[in-house]
Structure 1
Amino acid sequence: MIFLAEPSHVSRHDIIAGLRELGISAGDGLMVHSSLSSFGYVEGGAQTVIEALQEALTPDGTLLLPSFNHGAAFREGGAGYFDPTETPTTNGAIPDLFWRLPDVRRSLNPSHAFAAWGREARRYTEFHHRTLTLGPESPLGLLLADDGSCLLMGVGYAPNTFHHVVEMSTGAPCLGLRTTAHPVVLPDGRRVEGRT
């Protein structure tokens, strides 16, 4: 966890130096929960944080961020479907910019999609709508199997979803089977039911 004593003026160099100090290096797999506002002023905003993470990991690594809508797409006023190219995330500025980048893949889970960049992005995201949201074949489950890590940038432990994968693997009744299905728009425009 990287904590700044007080919000301050943060550069890309500062973020990369902090990541290196934590032992994060090229080729690593990393899940990140973040809060841009907790950094203070970041030169270049969310884009700078993303670029620093990508530079630290390199394309040989994998960067995974939550891009959840927590079911907002299916509540009153929502679109009634999940479209990975248009449904916004409720996870903050960094994840909301990240999933929109052209070299980032977004999973098709209707409420708890993940966005991924790097070597394992495709493998982590391509079948998420067909498996348990946070089960062993989910993006986080695959990251765990690959000895990946979770980094909390400016947030406490509460928003960390990584522990749910461990709970699911031990049979803890934390999330249940989550068998609710909702419409998901595939890249070719077809709609299918995706489990959340």
Structure 2
Amino acid sequence: MIAEGLRQLGLSKASRVLVHASLRSFGRVDGGAEAVCRALVDVCGTVMVSAGAWDLTGLPAPPGLTRPDNACHQAQTWQEFDDALAKATVYSKDLPVDSWLGTIAETMRQNFPHERGDHPLFTYLAVGPDARPLVDAGRLDWPLGPIEELGELGGDVVLLGVGHTSSTAIHLAEQRLGRSRFYRYAKKAPGVWMELPNIPGESHRFGEIEGLLAPVTTEVRIGRCRARRLSVSDVLSTTERLVAADPRALLCEDPECRCGAAYQQRLANLRGGGHGV
């Protein structure tokens, strides 16, 4: 049923997809997450999923190290930072995927031959013939590069039981306009930390783009799962038009949220003081 539903979405061995999925959304699945992964790999040419290990490798910002509009948790003392550094794990490609990214990604890592990127916080995992060039596009200074490469290859975003709040392609569109580019920190080696730029921020208002993307979205039901497919290029172009017209689009106004810092980054970009496309 899952494989047939994916084919009804228009997917085939010619497809290259970035999948965001909720196993629970399907209801009961014989074979569980592995069956969903098998259907994706059998139907599609190349399957990519988010596969970060932030929970194990991430650190607060060191005391005194501040960046404009960075909205980052910061250690108050060097003792606090050193304790966090000692507890953190050095990134390796065999670390488990963060649990908040869902069961599908970790099951793909455990059960399917794959390629995985080198970014210690925000990386991707891919299965299929285009896996290597996709994950290689993710650099330490540009972690969303795999989505950019997927767009160049004519790829799609597939949402299985999740909304646009899970869509990292929207973050790429923001970053092309100088918004939602944060510095974050990770353990590099025992006693050594590193600063990593261009980490995306909040996505809890991304659902507001659904109406604009509806005309370019293909949708079917797979069991209880709402399954959707749309091209990466449509996600990028629609988001870029929206943010270009309104710097605060898809951001909340909570002063405690990173959305405010992302908005200030976009304003700095418009003044010529930030990153451009």
- Cα distance, 1:157 vs structure 2: 1.3
Question: Which residue matches 2:152?
Answer: 145
Instruction: Name the % identity.
Output: 26
Give the Å deviation of 1:103: 1.1
The answer to whether the 8 A contact 1:74-1:81 is kept is: no
CA contact (8 A) 1:129 1:194 kept: no
SS at match of 1:158: helix
Higher share in helix: 2
Which of 83, 87, 91 in structure 2 is aligned with 1:82? 91
- Whether the 8 Å CA contact 1:109–1:194 is kept in 2: the answer is no
Residue 67 of structure 1: which of 51, 75, 78 is its match? 51
- In the alignment of these two chains, the number of paired residues is 170
- Find the counterpart in structure 1 of residue 103 from structure 2: 93
Aligned to 1:24: 11
Please give the root-mean-square deviation of Cα atoms over the aligned residues, in Å: 2.6
Mapped partners of 2:161, 2:10: distance in 1: 18
| TM, length-normalised to structure 2 | 0.55
| Cα deviation 1:59-97 (Å, max 9, x = unaligned) | xx2110011234542344853321111243231111011
Q: Which SS does the other structure have where 2:111 is aligned?
A: coil
After TM superposition, the structure 1 = structure 2 runs for residues 85-164 of structure 1, keeping only pairs within 5 Å, are 85-90=94-99, 91-126=101-136, 128-134=138-144, 138-164=145-171
The alpha-carbon deviation at position 17 of structure 1 amounts to 1.2
Q: Assess if the C-alpha contact under 8 Å between 2:184 and 2:195 holds in 1.
A: no
Give me the whole-angstrom Cα distance separating, in 1, the residues matched to 2:127 and 2:195: 22
SS at match of 1:94: helix
Pair 1:175-2:181 in alignment: yes
Deviations 1:95-145 (A, max 9, x none): 0111223511111111111110111111111352434112xxx11111011
Distance 1:145 1:78, change over 3 A: farther
Name the SS for the 1:41 alignment partner. coil
SS for the counterpart of 1:150 is: strand
Give the partner amino acid of 2:172.
Answer: V
Q: Which of structures 1 and 2 has the bigger CA Rg?
A: 2
TM-score by length of 1: 0.76
Give the C-alpha shift of residue 18 in structure 1. 0.9
Distance in 2 between residues matched to 1:54 and 1:34, nearest whole Å: 14
88 and 154 in structure 1: CA distance in 2 versus 1, 3 angstrom threshold: same
1:42–1:193 CA distance, 2 compared to 1 (3 A): same
Q: Counterparts of 1:182 and 1:194 in 2: how far apart (Å)?
A: 9
> Matched residues in 2 for 1:153 and 1:102: separation?
19
